[in-house]
Amino acid sequence: MCDITDCDVRMIRNEDVEQILIGIPKDHKHIRVCLKLKNKQVLIFQEATIANILRGYITVKTHPTIKSQKLSLKALPKTERKEGFAAYQLLELRIQDEEIEEEISQLIKEAKRL
């Protein structure tokens, strides 16, 4: 993860999005989400990335005590993962809500709008 001082932090607001395409590309098995921005950039997310974002979002939104989540990339050896799961996973870190909330606040302060 980059330190806040060496990251190119951008905020994508709803009004920055021109279109979102969601579907399975030809000759693929998994969903892709394509975010077309007004500034002519396109971000393409793999199904696993969206699933991880949704898992964290739903946990924060619906859990009675969890107020934030931080997911971090971890390479899991075959012996530590379920059959059919990818080696690279975004897994929850056990960090205090306040620490995550502070990191989010700092990123928002540094963010450039599109």
Helices (H), the chain: 47-62, 97-110
For residues 113 and 8, the answer to whether their CB atoms sit within 8 Å is no
Q: With 0-12 CB in 10 A as exposed, 13-18 as middle and 19+ as buried, what is 60?
A: middle
**pLDDT at residue 4 in the model:** 64
pLDDT band at 114 (very low <50, low <70, confident <90, very high): confident
The domain of 77 spans: 4-113
The total number of structural domains that make up the chain? 1
Mean pLDDT, residues 53-67: 97
CA dihedral 75, 50, 13, 64 (to 10 degrees): -90
Q: Is 40 left (phi over 0), alpha (psi -120 to 50) or beta?
A: left
pLDDT in tens, 67-101: 999 999 999 999 999 988 889 999 999 999 999 99
pLDDT in tens, 12-25: 999 999 999 999 99
**pLDDT at residue 84 in the model:** 84
Distance between CA atoms of residues 80 and 65, nearest Å: 28
Tell me what percent of the residues of the chain surpass a pLDDT of 70.
Answer: 96
**How far, rounded to the nearest angstrom, does the alpha carbon of residue 67 sit from its chain's CA centroid?**
16
pTM: 0.85
**pLDDT at residue 3 in the model:** 66
Residue 65 has pLDDT above 90, yes or no: yes
